[in-house]
Amino acid sequence: MILIVDDEPAIRSSLSCLLQDEGYQTIAVESAFRAEEVLSAQPISLILLDIQMPGKDGLTFLDENRRRLTDIPVIIISGRGDIPTAVAAIKLGAGDYIEKPLAPERVLLTVAQAMRLSRSRQTEQKLVGRLLDRYHIIGTSPAVGRMRDLIARAAAADVPVLITGENGTGKELAAHQIHYLSRRGSEPLVTVNCPAIPETLFEAELFGHVRGAFTGALRERAGRFEKASGGTLFLDEIGDLPPGTQGKLLRVLETGQYEKIGSDTTQQSDFRLLAATNRNLQEMVAQKTFREDLYYSLNVLPIEVPPLRQRMEDIPALLDFFWEELDASGRYTLSAPAAGILASYDWPGNIRQLKNVAARIVFECPPGEIGPADIERIYHQREAVVASSSNAGETGLAAAVRQFETGYLTRLYHKHNGNIAAMARELSMDRGNLSRKLKQLGIV
């Protein structure tokens, strides 16, 4: 629907006829006040707005309704030679202007261009809406409410955000929410999983490189900074960022400038940085393993994602969500005693562990009400399978040792916020062996 706003009846009539002959739907009003009523009553795809009107002129209308018009293209109708006014209108958010007397060809061309822009924006909004649905945060607990408030503030602020929390709590989910709720939501979200990239390749991954920059660089390649320009760069597990790269990242954050490897040409990138970690960066700063200046540049707006044990009341809603993902919506209900048992567990693996339990229920339980016996069997099944397969003749002493190991390593896991490398250092144990032990005991 195209809204025509002009105090001259002849202009309203001629524009309506011209556009309707081309297949557009129109509604024509004589004042800015009536235009505001229409905007409140129905969706509008485009506005043709006269500047000179009695009561409230077009510039005032644009200024007062700037937020409402964010996603609606506006074409200004100005008098011949009134360029300064048209420029002022464009600064207030108008997309284009046409001069009186109106030339039909010019009107139709300008409207067609604006309608393409409107359809593009509507498509982007639908896509962002679907992505927000996909990455929405489940739960009504106070902890989740506080996190939602912080995410909304972060989305509006366009400053670096540091997201902290244990493994499996949903830090990446929070990052997606911040991005898609922000003004950059229709632009790229580029994710870098820091632990997954070898230290020798990290700078090439972030900065990109030109052809011949190093052995194997057979062609020029864009880095993550370039790909994220206009959108958001998400550095997941930034505590694993190589020390040599930390200072270079800080420079890019401060200036927005960088050079590809093998090039002296300075490039510009406008991205918003989100970072997540399960490690205590303040401790790393004290230990000189993480730059203090980079930490403060990242920690402009901190968000802590709560562990599942601090939001137990969300477990039933989370299970329903996971069952819906598994096409099992409505087939299972959780009894009150079963919910109580789930709330008594420590959940070292957090939401990721709960998702595993939800999947096991679907695969192993018939549809219906899930009771305490089902929960006890499924929650402890992995440990039981490991025990029966590798320790079939386990003695009372061996069982006691296993119980002690599980309790001790679980407490240590929480102490180090899930940082297995830090646990291994404290235990003087090989990280790979420790990781396998944690999996064997069902801690991760």
Q: What is the pLDDT of residues 376-393, one digit of tens each?
A: 888 766 444 333 334 444
Q: For residue 397, is pLDDT > 50? A: no
Res. 308 pLDDT band, cuts 50 70 90 = very high
- Rounded Cα distance, 365 and 374, in Å: 8
**Residue pLDDT, tens place only, 243-301:** 889 999 999 999 999 999 898 899 999 999 999 999 999 999 999 999 999 999 999 99
pLDDT digits (tens, 9 = 90+) for 173-196: 999 999 988 888 888 999 999 988
Q: What's the CATH code, domain 311-342+354-390?
A: 1.10.8
Q: Partners of 28 in the beta sheet?
A: 4
Q: What percent of the chain has pLDDT over 90?
A: 34
pLDDT for the residue numbered 294: 95
311-342+354-390 has the same fold as 2-131: no
> Quick one: average pLDDT of 77-101?
76
pLDDT computed for residue 310 by the predictor? 94
Q: Which band of pLDDT confidence, cut at 50, 70 and 90, is reported for residue 230? A: very high
C-beta of residue 139 within 8 angstroms of C-beta of residue 318 = yes
pLDDT at 120 over 50: yes
Ranges of each domain in the chain = 2-131, 139-304, 311-342+354-390, 392-444
Q: Are 234 and 191 in contact (CB under 8 A)?
A: yes
Give the per-residue pLDDT at 129: 60
Among 22-31, 65-74, 204-213, which stretch is predicted with the lowest mean pLDDT? 65-74
- pLDDT band for position 59 (50/70/90)? confident
Instruction: Write down the pLDDT at residue 389.
Output: 37
Instruction: Tell which residue, 154, 195, 145, has the closest CA to residue 176.
Output: 154
Identify the band that residue 133 occupies on the pLDDT scale cut at 50, 70 and 90: low
Distance of CA 248 to the CA centre of its chain: 25
- Whether residue 403 is predicted with pLDDT greater than 70 in this model: the reply is no
Architecture of domain 139-304: 3-Layer(aba) Sandwich (3.40)
Residues in the chain: 444
Class in CATH terms, 2-131:
alpha beta
Q: Which amino acid is at 326?
A: L
Q: Which helix (H) or strand (E) holds 50?
A: strand 46-50
**Residue 440: exposure state from Cβ atoms within 10 A (0-12, 13-18, ≥19):** middle
| Residue 368 pLDDT exceeds 50 | yes
